[in-house]
Amino acid sequence: MTDHERLLSGRTAVVTGGARGLGKAIAKELAARGVNVALLGLEEDALARTATELPTVSRSWPVDITDDDAMVHAAEDVHRLMGPVSIVVANAGVAEAGPFLDSDPASWRRVIEVNLIGSAVTARAETAPCGVSVGIAYLNWIDTDMIRDADRYTVMRKLRSHMPQPAHAVSSVEHMAHRVVTSVERRASSVYAPGWLRSSQLVRGVLPGVITQVARRKLTHSRYTATGLLGAGGRAAGPATVRNGGRTADPR
């Protein structure tokens, strides 16, 4: 471990969506650098297993990140049991794809709730006067069960196949986790992984038009159907499985 990596040793971090995928990899990367980790998410058993795999003091809290009250209680528990939190990684997210017209209204609402509202609930505060900095990670495709599940659907395979190199390349969770945690150490305001994503900011104004034109030509076949929430994490976060900030049996 380098002197730079020891900067985080002994601190406490909160990682949402830590049961699998990128969240789990970030938790492992943090723990490898001496960080104690609090894992938050809906998959209680998977979260607990991840916590036991980490070499530092780590605990898990099954919680719906969109539930304000439940998140307040979780924050209080983390502080009481693990001390002050130095790092928060709002990683939890879900996705679906396919024609919007065919999508389940409850599913696309859940995407907004988890990805937007859940991230806001996780980071609720204006903390700059306290010396807290905020960064954002711009990440391309990652080898997670969400992306592997997406590739089972024609609409997503077509979407990725028509992307130019290297836009359709998939990176490992370990590589992405390393990039994210390194940016935390550096208190960076942003991280782009792969690095070429930074250049996309220069043309972001024209991207919606380009994507629309490609979609009109390539993604109009009748066999394209809505995927529903993707991956095991998506199924765990589905509207049918979440009740009052907790989890119920999935009727499917």
What pLDDT does residue 31 have?
A: 97
Cα 162 to its chain centre, rounded Å, is 25
What pLDDT does residue 198 have?
A: 87
What pLDDT does residue 251 have?
A: 28
Q: Label residue 59 left, alpha or beta by phi (over 0 means left) and psi (-120 to 50 means alpha).
A: beta
Which tokens hold the place of 25? Answer: 């990899």
Which tokens hold the place of 175? Answer: 């590589």
Helices assigned H by DSSP within the chain: 21-32, 44-53, 68-82, 105-112, 119-122, 145-150, 154-161, 173-185, 197-200, 207-218, 231-236
Q: Which residue do the tokens 């307040």 mark?
A: 72
What pLDDT does residue 160 have?
A: 75
What pLDDT does residue 101 have?
A: 81
What lies within 8 Å, CB to CB, of 107 at 6+ separation is 96, 226, 228, 229, 238, 239
Nearest CA among 144, 91, 86, 133 for reference residue 114: 91
* Half-sphere exposure in the Cβ direction for 54 (13 Å, CA): 31
Q: Whole-angstrom Cα distance, residue 185 to residue 201?
A: 24
Domains of the chain by residue range? 9-239
Whether omega before 166 lies within 30 degrees of 0, making that bond cis, reads yes
pLDDT in tens, the chain (252 residues): 555 557 899 999 999 999 999 999 999 999 999 999 999 999 999 999 999 999 999 999 999 999 999 999 999 999 999 999 999 999 999 998 877 888 889 998 999 999 999 999 998 887 778 888 899 999 998 999 888 888 888 777 777 777 777 778 889 999 999 999 999 999 999 999 988 888 877 777 777 777 777 667 766 655 677 888 888 899 898 876 665 444 433 322
What pLDDT does residue 3 have?
A: 53
CATH of the domain spanning 9-239, picked from 3.40.50.1240, 3.40.50.720, 3.30.300.30, 3.30.830.10 = 3.40.50.720
What pLDDT does residue 200 have?
A: 78
